[in-house]
C-alpha cells in the first residue's frame, strides 16, 4: 500500500484480508521480462478500453486476493461449472474471469486487455459496455453475484427448530444452502435485534451480503472505526419508521441494533460518499483514516460468536472526481513484492 496523496482520499471500496489467511501469501517465481526488468507475477497492467477504469480497478483488487486467484488458476472452477447445466452467459463470465487472472499472473506481458471479461459481463449488464463512467461498487457486486451463480453448489443439512405451543416440540428440518468460493471468502452475516419499545419483546433478523456499506459520520475527517461505530450504534425507529410488532400486532416504536454473527475471511467495505440533501446530490470528500494491519472487529461481534477476527489491508479502490465524472485507480498489496 503506497502513501495517500495530499488530496482528500476518495476511497470507495476497502478490502481487508483476515490475518489468519497469510498462508496464502507465499511468494511466487519471478519472470525476467525484456529489458532486464523483472516481471512479477500478479503485477500486470490493464488496458483502458474507454472509461473502463472502473473495471480495471476492481479487477486489480480481485487479482490481489490469493485464495480467489488460486481457485481459478488451479482449475477448480472448471469442476464447479461442469456440475450443472448453466446459462451460457453465466458460465462465460466465470471462464473469462479465469482467463483474465491467468493473464495477469502467468502471462509475460506488462499490460493485458480485459476486453473478454468486460464483454462477457456486458452481455448480462449492458450498461457496463457503454462508454460512460460506471460505479465501482455496482460493478463489483455484479461480478461477485455472477461468479457465485456460476460456481455455486447445494448443501443439504438438518437443523433443529422449535414449534410454538404450550409444550415446545423439537423437530428436524432439511435446510438447503448455496455455497461457492464467493460465499466462502466474502459472505458476511449481520444479526439485527429488534426490541418493541411498548411490549419490550425482542425479535431477530439476519441479513447476508458480500459488500458492507458504511456511513461517513463526519464531513471533514474520521476513521474507519468511526464509520463502524456509526453503523453499529443502536437506532430508534419512530413515527413513519415504526416497525410492525408481531406481539402487539400493530406498528410500534422500536430499538434496533446490529451485530456480526458471521465474519468473512475477506471483508469488503464500501464507504458511502454520496450525500443527498433535498434535490441536491454531492460527493463527500471526507478524509478517512484506516489501519494497514490488525483491524479488530471484536466490539461488533455477536456475543455467541467465538472467533474474534483481525484484518489486514489488502487493496483499495480510489475515485478522483465528482458525481459526473472522474477516474478510478487501485492500490493493491502484492504477495511477491510485499508492496
Angle at 319 between CA 62 and CA 24, to 5 degrees: 20
The CA distance from 79 to 75, in Å, is: 7
Annotated active-site residue 196? The verdict is no
Considering the candidates 222, 289, 327, 332, report the single residue annotated as catalytic. 327
Rounded CA separation 91/85 (Å): 9
Mapped to the 3 state alphabet, what secondary structure does 175-244 carry? EEEEECHHHHHHCEEEEEEEEECCCCCEEEEEEEECEEEECCCCCCEEEHHHHHHHHHCCEEECHHHCEE
DSSP for residue 114 = -
Phi-psi region of 335 (alpha: psi -120 to 50; beta: other; left: phi over 0): alpha
The residues, ordered by sequence, that sit 6+ positions from 195 with a Cβ below 8 Å of its Cβ are 201, 202, 254, 255, 256
Residue 53 catalytic? yes
Report d(CA 114, CA 283) in Å as an integer. Answer: 29
319, 312 Cβ separation under 8 angstroms:
no
> What are the residues facing 33 on neighbouring strands?
none
Catalytic residue among 16, 21, 53, 314: 53
Active site residues per annotation: 53, 327
Amino acid at each position: 500500500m503506497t502513501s495517500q496523496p495530499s488530496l482528500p482520499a476518495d476511497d470507495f471500496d476497502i478490502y481487508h484480508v483476515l490475518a489468519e489467511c497469510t498462508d496464502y501469501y507465499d511468494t511466487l517465481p519471478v519472470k525476467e521480462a525484456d529489458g532486464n526488468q523483472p516481471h512479477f507475477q500478479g503485477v500486470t497492467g490493464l488496458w483502458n478500453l474507454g472509461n473502463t477504469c472502473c473495471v480495471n480497478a476492481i479487477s486489480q483488487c480481485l487479482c490481489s486476493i490469493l485464495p480467489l486467484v488460486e481457485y481459478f488458476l488451479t482449475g477448480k472452477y472448471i469442476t464447479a461449472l461442469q456440475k450443472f447445466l448453466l446459462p451460457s452467459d453465466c458460465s462465460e463470465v466465470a471462464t473469462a474471469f479465469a482467463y483474465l487472472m491467468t493473464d495477469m499472473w502467468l502471462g509475460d506481458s506488462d499490460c493485458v486487455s480485459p476486453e473478454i471479461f468486460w464483454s462477457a459481463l456486458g452481455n448480462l449488464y449492458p450498461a457496463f459496455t457503454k462508454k460512460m463512467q460506471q460505479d465501482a461498487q455496482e460493478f463489483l457486486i455484479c461480478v461477485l453475484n455472477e461468479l457465485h451463480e456460476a460456481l455455486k453448489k447445494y448443501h443439504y443439512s438438518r437443523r433443529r427448530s422449535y414449534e410454538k405451543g404450550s409444550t415446545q416440540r423439537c423437530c428436524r428440518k432439511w435446510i438447503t444452502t448455496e455455497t461457492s468460493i464467493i460465499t466462502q471468502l466474502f459472505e458476511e452475516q449481520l444479526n439485527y435485534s429488534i426490541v418493541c419499545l411498548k411490549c419490550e419483546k425482542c425479535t431477530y433478523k439476519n441479513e447476508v451480503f458480500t459488500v458492507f456499506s458504511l456511513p461517513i459520520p463526519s464531513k471533514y475527517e474520521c476513521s474507519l472505526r468511526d464509520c463502524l461505530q456509526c453503523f453499529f450504534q443502536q437506532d430508534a425507529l419512530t413515527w413513519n419508521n415504526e416497525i410492525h410488532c408481531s406481539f402487539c400486532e400493530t406498528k410500534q416504536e422500536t430499538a434496533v441494533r446490529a451485530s456480526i454473527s458471521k465474519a468473512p475471511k475477506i471483508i469488503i467495505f464500501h464507504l458511502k460518499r454520496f450525500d443527498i440533501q433535498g434535490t441536491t446530490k454531492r460527493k463527500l470528500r471526507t478524509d478517512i483514516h484506516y489501519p494497514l494491519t490488525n483491524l479488530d472487529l471484536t466490539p461488533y461481534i455477536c456475543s455467541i460468536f467465538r472467533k474474534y477476527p483481525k484484518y489486514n489491508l489488502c487493496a483499495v479502490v480510489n475515485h478522483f472526481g465528482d458525481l459526473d465524472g472522474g477516474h478510478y485507480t487501485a492500490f493493491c498489496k502484492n504477495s511477491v513484492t510485499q508492496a
